Amino acid sequence: MPWRPADELAQVVALEVLLHGPLARAELARRLDLAPATLTRISADLIDAGLLTETALPAERRNGRPSIPLDVVTSAHHFLGVKLAGDAVSAAVTDLRADVVDYFELPLDSTEPAAVVERICELVARAAGEHVIDAVGIGLGGVVDDEGRVSSAPFLGWEDVPLSSMVQERCGLPTFAAKDLTAFTEALHWFGLGAGHANFAALTLGVGVGYGCIANGRLLAGGDSGVGLVGHWPLDPLGPLCSRGHRGCAESMLTMPYLVRDISLALGREVQWPEFLTLAADGHPAARGIADASGRALGRLIAAIANLAAPELVVIGGEGVDLARVSMPAVEEGIREHRDPRAADVRVELTSGSNESWCRGAAVIALQGYVLDRRRVRSSAARTGSR
């Protein structure tokens, strides 16, 4: 039962239901500015096609005839989202709403493209054993073009690897690859904190600092986003030096390795990330100081994003997201410092930075590719600059 809305309008209706939860016909008609009659017809088609069903109506009761919410059959489709790291590949199986239903992981002993593809296909095979997988998405740090070709991924030593087509040929499933941050941001956009927002930004903390942005309802994708454009952003003229000799850049102020190094130096012993957070939360002076300086730096970065990209919301994620949690007041102070007091407050939200959330992002790339039928359709995206 493939996702094949009969025409463009059916596609729009199906997407609206997919993205904005169960919706009644009348509500859909209002949202999409269509006649009720049209919705009767379209929803009948979509129900016939197995894309939508009428839910068991726990809809809010008001006056008049009760509405019958329509919903997508979430369990009718499954996607595999693969996150590629330097030493392991992990994967999550999700349903049509990007809810994770299964999770696998495999170590990676070679970063040769062929070996990695092999590993990915092992995951695909394992997942396919338990679920019917409709498409595969792969997320990795690096520059990936629209066709899923990895033009550069330093952490794997890759240049110009046609990853998605390699996997697709090897395992026979539609495969899409994208930069990990693109995937993460799109997942927030369709099913996460960014749902319903036409302008928001995502920021991830971890081994590096990542940035993704939805502007006017679509991803901001410069040709070379992905080379780590915010990674070395100068945030504190008095901060420590980073590997490239910048003083107080995002890498040196916000990434886990540097912060762990700083706290270890300060205490004269090896301190791990969780302990650092605990110490900071408990008010240990050295840890507090480092966390606060870091939080202020993060706030400045958020302010920069807010000033230039005008998001309604900034979502923080990544495995180091707890840094923001323990230094929220400093973050807010940093924002105030670099933001005009007359401007509206920046809304900052935190989200999970587990590895699963990266996989989920990759699954959303698969889901989008499948549902929007990428690879075939390029025409509608061709209209460039107008309006």
Partner DNA sequence: TCAAGTTTGTTCGTGTGATGAAATAACCCC
Partner DNA sequence: GGGGTTATTTCATCACACGAACAAACTTGA
Kindly state the tokens that stand for 79. 């996607």
Place of tokens 């809304």: 347
Size of site (CB under 7 A) for DNA: 27
Q: Which CB sits closer to DNA, 34 or 108?
A: 34
- Report the partner that residue 65 touches, choosing among a second copy, DNA, none (CB closer than 5 to 8 A by kind): DNA
Among 107, 245, 274, 385, indicate the residue that binds a second copy (CB under 8 A).
385
Among 42, 136, 242, 287, binds DNA (CB under 7 A): 42
* Comparison of 269 and 378: residue with beta carbon closer to DNA: 378
**Which range in 65-73, 256-264, 325-333, 339-347 contacts a second copy by CB under 8 A?**
339-347
Structural contact between residues 83 and 89, judged by C-beta atoms closer than 8 angstroms: yes
Contact between 127 and a second copy (CB under 8 A)? no
Supply the minimum distance, in Å, between the C-beta of residue 188 and a second copy: 11
Task: Report the residue number, 124 or 178, with the smaller CB distance to a second copy.
Answer: 178
Partner that binds at residue 64, options DNA, a second copy, none, CB closer than 5 to 8 Å by kind: DNA
Applying CB under 8 A, does 215 fall inside the site for a second copy?
yes
By CB under 7 A, is residue 215 in contact with DNA? no
Among 61, 269, 342, 387, binds DNA (CB under 7 A): 61
Q: Helix 8-19 to helix 36-48 angle, to the nearest 10 degrees?
A: 80
Q: Is 340 in the site for a second copy (CB under 8 A)?
A: yes
Q: Report in angstroms the alpha-carbon separations of 163 from 113, 160, 186, 203, 377.
A: 8, 9, 20, 25, 20
Q: Is 9 helix (H, G, I), strand (E, B) or coil?
A: helix
27 binds a second copy (CB under 8 A): no
From 49-57, 206-214, 291-299, 327-335, span contacting a second copy (CB under 8 A): 206-214
- 3-class SS letters over 114-126: HHHHHHHHHHHHH
Instruction: Establish if 37 lies at the interface with DNA (CB under 7 A).
Output: yes
Contact between 233 and a second copy per CB under 8 A? yes
β-sheet bridge partners, residue 317: 204
Q: Which of 186, 94, 184, 91 is nearest to 133 (CA)?
A: 94
Single out the segment in contact with DNA by CB under 7 A; choices: 32-40, 143-151, 183-191, 237-245. 32-40
Residues 303-322 that bind a second copy (CB under 8 A): 304-312
Interacting partner of 387 out of DNA, a second copy, none (Cβ under 5 to 8 A depending on kind):
a second copy
Residue 21 is a binding residue for DNA (CB under 7 A): no
- Of 209, 228, 204, 164, the closest CA to residue 357 belongs to 204
Do 202 and 194 touch, CB atoms closer than 8 A? yes
Q: Does 65 bind DNA (CB under 7 A)?
A: yes
When asked if residue 40 is in the footprint of DNA (CB under 7 A), the reply is yes
Q: Which of 218, 272, 329, 352 binds a second copy (CB under 8 A)?
A: 218
Tell me how many degrees the CA angle 344-182-333 measures, rounded to the nearest 5. Answer: 30
Handedness of CA 305, 206, 243, 289 (dihedral sign): positive
- Please identify which residue in 4, 20, 31, 41 interacts with DNA, judged by CB under 7 A: 41
Give which of 7, 77, 79, 98 is closest to 46, Cα–Cα.
7
Query: Binding of a second copy at residue 253 (CB under 8 A)?
Result: no
Which strands, in side-by-side order, build the sheet including 150-153?
143-144, 150-153, 158-161
Please check whether residue 180 is in contact with residue 144, taking contact to mean a CB–CB distance below 8 angstroms. no
Q: Any contact of residue 145 with DNA (CB under 7 A)?
A: no
| From DNA, a second copy, none, interface partner of 115 (C-beta below 5 to 8 A by class) | none
C-alpha distances (whole Å) from 290 to each of 209, 254, 316, 350, 368 are 17, 10, 19, 20, 40
The number of beta carbons lying within 10 Å of the beta carbon of residue 223 is 8
Position 178 contacts a second copy (CB under 8 A): no
Q: Which residues contact 341 (CB under 8 A, 6 or more apart)?
A: none
* 14 lines the binding site for DNA (CB under 7 A): no
Q: Which residue has the tokens 């319903």?
A: 196
Chain positions contacting a second copy, by CB under 8 A? 15-16, 19-20, 31, 33, 152, 189, 194-199, 211, 213-218, 220-225, 227-234, 237, 304-312, 338-340, 342-344, 379-380, 383-387
Chain positions contacting DNA, by CB under 7 A? 6-7, 9, 24-27, 33-44, 61-68
